[in-house]
Amino acid sequence: MDVGCITNNLPSIAHPPKHGTKEDKEDEPLVFDASLPRHEHNLPKQFIWPDEEKPCLNPPELVVPLVDLRGFLSGDPVAAMEASGLMSEACRKHGFFLVVNHGIDSRLISHAHRFMDDFFELPLSQKQRAQRKKGEHCGYASSFPGRFSSKLPWKETLSFQFSADKHSKNLVKDYLCEKMGHEFEQFGMVYQEYCEAMSNLSLVIMELLGMSLGVGRTCFREFFDNNNSIMRLNYYPPCQKPDLTLGTGPHCDPTSLTILHQDKVGGLQVYVDNEWHSITPNFNAFVVNIGDTFMALSNGRYKSCLHRAVVNNQKTRKSLAFFLCPRDDKVVTPPSELVDHVSPRIYPDFTWPMFLEFTQKHYRADMNTLDQFTNWVQRNKS
C-alpha cells in the first residue's frame, strides 16, 4: 500500500523544523524531563489543550465489570459462561472491563513498576539513547514535540516490540541492551517475562471474547497466537497546571486489545454516556479494553472506546500498557458468523502493519482513526 498520498488528505502531523533553518531556534522541540526541577508555572502553549478537551474536575467513577478469571482458568464451564457474559455486556457498552484472579505474580508487576521508575529517573541524555525515530513506534519519546505541533501530551514513554514466537525469547532484552547497554539486561528480562504473561492473559481473554461472540474459544485465540505486540511504559510527571493539559489525549487504541496496569495515583478516564468517568486504580486488577483492530475483527459488534489520561500537580503517575497486535501477515477479517445481510461488512480487510504505519506516519490516533483509515483504504483501492 503506497501511503504517500495520505499526507495531503489528512491533518498531517507537524514535521519538525529543518535543521539549521531559523525555525529551529523559535520552534526548538519542547522536551521535558521528570528529573528537571519542577518550577515551570507557565505551561508552554503547545501543552495547553483546547477548552473543549481540557480535563473536567472530579468526574464520576465508572463502575466497570470485574471479571474473575479463577473459575475459567481452572476449567469450570459455568464460570466461563459468567466471565464471557460480563465481557459481552461491557464490550457492547463501552469496551472496558477489569480482570482479577488472573494468575499473574504480583511480584512481577511490582518489578515492572520499579524498573520503570529506574528508567525514567535517568538523565535525559541516557534516556535519549533509546530515542524514538521519526515514523517508528519503538523507543523513548518525551511528549512528542517533533511529531505534533500542538496538544502535546504531558508524558514520557518507552515503547518496544514483543513477539510471542518461541524463537523470539530474547527480543525485549536484546532491544533494551542494544539501546541502553548491558546494565539493562535484568530490566529486559523482567519485561520479557511481563510481556509473556500479558500475551498469555490476552489469549485467555480472546477465548472468552470468542465464546461471547458465538465464534468459539479457538477462533480469536488462534488469530493472536504468535502475536507481535507492543509494550508501552507511560510516565506522567507532575504538572503545575493539570487542568490545562492532558497526559494522553482522547483516543481509541488502534490495536486489538489493551491490558493496562495503572499505579495507585489514578488518572485513566473513559468516555461513557456522554460523560468522562474515572477508573479507580486496583493493584490486583488489569484494565482491559477493546481496540480498533478488534472492533473491525468483530465487525463492529464490540466497541473500541474513547479514553484519555489526566495528570496532577502532586505525584508522578505511571501505567504499563500491553497492546496486543496480530502477527504481521494476519489479515484482519471478521469471522463469517459475524457477517450477514443484517450485519454487512463495516471495515475493509487490512493488516496491522498497514494500520500501524498510518498512525505513525500520517495520522495522530484519536477517536476517528479507524474511520479515517477505512476511508483512505477505500479511496486508494487500486
Ligand X SMILES: O=C(O)CCC(=O)C(=O)O
Check residue 321 for interaction with ligand X (CB under 6 A). yes
**Nearer of residues 267 and 326 to ligand X, judged by Cβ:** 267
Shortest distance, position 320 Cβ to ligand X, whole Å: 9
Residue nearest to Fe ion (CB): 253
Of the listed 147, 317, 327, 364, which one is catalytic? 317
Strand runs (DSSP E) across the chain, as ranges?
66-68, 96-100, 139-142, 156-163, 228-236, 248-251, 257-262, 268-272, 275-278, 286-290, 307-309, 317-324, 331-332, 350-351
Going from the C-alpha of 243 to that of each of 201, 312, 318, 366, the distances in angstroms are 35, 8, 18, 20
> Which residues make Cβ contacts (< 8 Å) with residue 368, sequence separation at least 6?
none
Range 371-380, long-range pairs (CB < 8 A, 24+ positions): 372/10, 374/347, 374/348, 376/6, 376/9, 376/10, 377/1, 377/348, 377/350, 378/348, 379/9, 380/1, 380/2, 380/5
- Distance in angstroms (rounded) separating the CA atoms of residues 325 and 257: 8
Return d(Cα 34, Cα 67) in angstroms, integer: 35
What is residue 75's DSSP assignment? T
The count of residues interacting with ligand X (CB under 6 A) is: 12
What kind and span of H or E run contains 86? helix 77-93
> To the nearest whole angstrom, how small is the minimum distance from the Cβ of residue 254 to ligand LEWYHDQE?
5
With CB under 6 A, what is the number of residues at the site for ligand LEWYHDQE? 15
Considering only residues 340 to 359 of the shown chain, the ones binding ligand LEWYHDQE according to CB under 6 A are 356, 359
For ligand X, the closer CB: 210 or 267: 267
Number of Cβ within 10 Å of residue 353's Cβ equals: 16
From 78-86, 131-139, 178-186, 249-257, give the range in contact with Fe ion by CB under 5 A.
Answer: 249-257
Q: Is 292 in the site for Fe ion (CB under 5 A)?
A: no
Indicate the residue among 220 and 323 with the shorter CB distance to ligand X: 323
Name the nearest CA neighbour of 236 among 310, 286, 287: 310
The site partner of 153 among ligand LEWYHDQE, Fe ion, ligand X, none (C-beta below 5 to 8 Å per kind) is ligand LEWYHDQE
Cβ distance to ligand X smaller for residue 141 or 206: 141
Taking CB under 6 A as the binding criterion, the range among 41-49, 50-58, 64-72, 260-268 that sits at the site for ligand X is: 260-268
User: From the list 94, 261, 307, 364, which residue makes contact with ligand X (rule: CB under 6 A)?
Assistant: 307
Selected binder of Fe ion within 102, 154, 179, 253 (CB under 5 A): 253
Closest CA to 172 of 138, 203, 205: 138
Is 233 a binder of ligand X (CB under 6 A)?
no
Residue recorded with cell 443484517: 342
Residue 262 contacts ligand X per CB under 6 A = yes
364 binds ligand X (CB under 6 A): no
DSSP state of 47: G
Is residue 263 a contact residue for ligand LEWYHDQE (CB under 6 A)? Answer: no
Catalytic residue check, 317? yes
- Interacting residue ranges for Fe ion, rule: CB under 5 A: 253
- Interacting residue ranges for ligand X, rule: CB under 6 A: 232, 234, 248, 253, 260, 262, 267-268, 307, 309, 319, 321
